[in-house]
Amino acid sequence: MNEMTRRAVLTAGGVAALAAAGLADATDRTPRWSTIPSRDALRRRHFPDIVLRTHENREVRLYEDLIKDKFVTFNFMYTNCESTCPLTTHNLVRVQKLLKDRVGRDLFMYSITLDPENDSPEALARYAKRHGAGPGWIFLRAEPGDTPTLRRKLGFYDRNPEVDGKWSTHTAMVRFGNEPRQLWAATSGLVAPDAIARAILWVDWPERKTAQTLGCCS
């Protein structure tokens, strides 16, 4: 395992151990002594039931349809991106192949456009086909007014407004989580695909699989 891969896995694992601490929003003011169950509190803070449309032109809700009771990955992209989006998408295609039949069965991959004004469901479908995305990987668009909220709630933002205004800041990040277990973490989408796949499996608790399960790594 090279140094970049080792750092990516350890970083993701460390964040996962914090059980969603990486999703904490600086604007949140929920009292520590709140009696709201932790899973429900996490849902209220970070998973608003925003309506999105899939690349197959189906209407879905963020929490009820895409996240609730699921093991998931998220990234942001847009079809006209010429910087990190194609590289991240290419790596995630390889990740999907490494994770084999789990994708679409007990793991669901979601890519959300940052440019809903130009990325129609048809454009997203063409993008998915062009890059070789398989079943279980859904490309999505929210309404333009909902996209900034969605990006922030899911943790794809920077506290520096100047940095946050650059879409490329958010397109190279992959966040993943086990919603029932309240385990969430993130890694770069630009590291080796086997490192991304290993990182994703960190939150597959209590059913974590060893690296050998992937059939890709020593």
Please give the pLDDT value at position 163. 74
Please give the pLDDT value at position 218. 39
Element (H, E) at 176: strand 173-178
Please give the pLDDT value at position 30. 53
Please give the pLDDT value at position 157. 83
Q: What residue ranges of the chain have pLDDT lower than 50?
A: 2-21, 26-27, 33, 210-212, 216-218
CB atoms within 10 A of CB 217: 16
Please give the pLDDT value at position 159. 83
Please give the pLDDT value at position 119. 98
Please give the pLDDT value at position 14. 43
CA-to-CA distance for 85 and 105, rounded, in angstroms? 25
For 75-97, the pLDDT digits (tens) are 999 999 988 999 999 999 999 99
Please give the pLDDT value at position 158. 79
Please give the pLDDT value at position 161. 81
Please give the pLDDT value at position 34. 58
Q: In what order do the strands lie in the sheet with 108-113?
A: 59-61, 51-54, 137-142, 108-113, 71-77, 173-178, 183-188
Q: What is the pTM of this model?
A: 0.80
Please give the pLDDT value at position 17. 41
